[in-house]
Structure 1
Amino acid sequence: MAATASATVTEPSNQVVPIASGDPVQLNQYFASVGEAIDWKVDAASGPNAFSPLCGFDAKFVLHGAACALHFAWYNETGSPPSSTDLHVIIPAGSAVGTTFSGTDIKSDPAYKGGLVGFALVGSPTQQCTETHYSNPAWNRVCSGCNPVAPWITTLIYPSRNVPNAFYLAFEDGPTGATSFNNDGDFNDDVYIVSGVTCVGGGQACDTGKPGICASGFTQCTANGTTCKPSTAGTAEKCNGLDDNCDGQTDEGDLCPSGQVCDKGTCVGSCASGEFACPGDKVCNANGHCVDPRCKDVTCDAGKVCVAGTCKGACDDVVCPHGQTCRAGTCADSCAGVTCESGQVCDNGACVTSCDCLPCTGGKSCDTASGLCIEAACAGVTCTGGQHCQAGNCVDACSGAVCPAGQTCEAGNCVDKPATDSDGGVDGGGGGLNGPGASPSDGPADGGTLQSASVDDSSGCGCVVAGGGGGEKVEIAGLALAIATAFRRRRTRR
């Protein structure tokens, strides 16, 4: 196929197009009238000249500045010039400006061969516009007297700035010659907008390289191929474990009600008040967070976190479970909470075209349940929760995962490790004689009577120790101490 040109389009005769003519409505005037921020000269291109049809194809006749009335048609791009029988009319000759396509979707048309398609303005033998002009210049007449010898460019292509997956196709309709273009070069003879198509490589998930939620994007067609466009713009920061404003920091600022701090995406009580004590392996820092003692007085730059007393990249050494992405030190499903339009699905946080509408490439298969392209070997394979398909087999989603500091992988998710008491035991989150997390000296967890105990008062203190007798009574001093101890534990564990 012919190479794509951008910024300025030059004909084989070295004439730069488009150029202004005496016609009352020029391309630049039309674009301005419909609110398209398109520079008719700088943004002019001869490509993409072949397209992948999507679901919901549509076309509209938007500008007519010539005398000829010609068919607008599509054809299968096979690598060879299409014959007249390969041209399938979209908008018939003689249609009024404003006419929209009302036929069968290209993907559903029996004539569609499943690959790329091109568009053509079909010449008429009964009019002066006898020559068919193609979106792919390779099929146009060649200027044999030009240096270098090359086909004439008879279609300028502009991606719409306002309509997703849409392009303006602006044609010249006059017959070209062996040495002369024979057209005025304003490209306003017949102009159409086609939507529901994309270029090769368009509509795929990509990484923009930006921080936070702005990292997820999709490939958008340009004159020279594709570019990665963010699927969402930054928003005001919220306590949700995400970098909402795309500044490289997560949950920064005063985001929670008074007396609370944002911890791993949730507003929790601040340990600074003394009411909410930290687990035994953590200490309270100046911001009211429970942290590793080695990080208590460490302040890290934006985008970094303290691990064992050292500042490092928030996602350094982190390998998230399958299907999750590390964003500012947190492994999360980047599609959680994302709502896509009809015909789109979420892939890595970006709304991309469903594989039902855009065929998979690279030997992948379309998973109709999710609308995503998957390994061909995984087609028809269903895995249970916490697993995913790899090379046709269900494997643990935690396999190979390295969660952020303080977390462990369970059932395909990075979750906080259980907190521990100062004595090294697991903190059950409560206390008291019969409450959750009670220790043996607190009392039985089942709500029964206290276990037998003996009192060692040789030192003059009433200390409760584990007893062995099945029917011995607890000394009053020991019972009082046990109750007091349990009460203190309950106060510190709230």
Structure 2
Amino acid sequence: MRDELCNSCDDDGDGAVDEGLSGLSCTMANGCGGVSVCASGASTCAWTAGSTKACDWCGPSGRSVCGQDGSVGPCQPVSPSREVECNRCDDNKDGIPDGATGNAESCNGQDDDCDGAIDEGSSGIEGDVCQVDVAQACCEPTTCQAQGKNCGALADGCGGTLNCGTCPSGQSCGAGGVANVCACTPIPQATACNGKCGLVPNGCNGSWNCGGCAGTQTCGGGGTPNVCGCTALPQSTVCAGKNCGTVSDGCAGSYSCGGSCSGANTCGGGGTPNVCGCAVYEDACDGRECGTASNGCGGTVNCGSCSGGAYCRAGVCTGGSEPMKSEQRR
């Protein structure tokens, strides 16, 4: 069985994680009470809210408040509101130790002179009622740290106000939805998306969707991230195999792939776009029975010959018998 390690794993297989290494009471190097935690693979004693340290206040009865930064506050009595016992200590911090020589008994419900009697001889008038002082509970103000706050103004619980400080650049107080806690302030969407497309950072580990692009443009298509654009195809690519007319460059523009076609040729006339060509007449010999006719592309078509002594005149056999026709050539 393996020993348990500080690694958030159940090393010894007993169903518990990091047991005996975290969550236990411990004493820090400054003598303050803490709780054990696993950090960087090792168990260490960490500060916890309300941590104190025993100290001598006229005897081992005082406590010092420990700060998260490792500081140790001044020693304070456990019961600072009144003289709690005849121990010759100034328990209530009034500048007069109890039981010291010369402490006169006063009408306060305490044994001021530590002779075992309370308020004895405090009144020289018969029937005088000794009014007992009522101890007032002392309000202990809270701290920003104790409440997990780090910015803005906060009530201290005793009628006062705490100033918990300001937030660093890029953060604002309460921006994360928790009052008096600094959090990242996102860049407004209108600002972050100005002139942009697609997803852009919001400055707080999130993003804004700035939308898409119109027409032939794509987001980043022009070479600039998050900006709508289009990169035109090279002219040599789009005009390859073409010799006339204009061809789209792929970005709402166009290239000229050549000038006018010569002769009877027209751009695309042969059936192939942007290529000079000519479509010959398929009906060039219609109405003719002999001779030749133009094919419409600078050539001729043989429409047949006459027989039996007839001769061809304007495409018609004159005299003799019916003409013998031949196949058209294109």
TM-score (norm 2): 0.25
TM-score (norm 1): 0.19
Larger proportion of helix? 1
> Relative contact order (alpha carbons < 8 A, sep ≥ 6): 1 or 2 greater?
1
Larger proportion of strand? 1
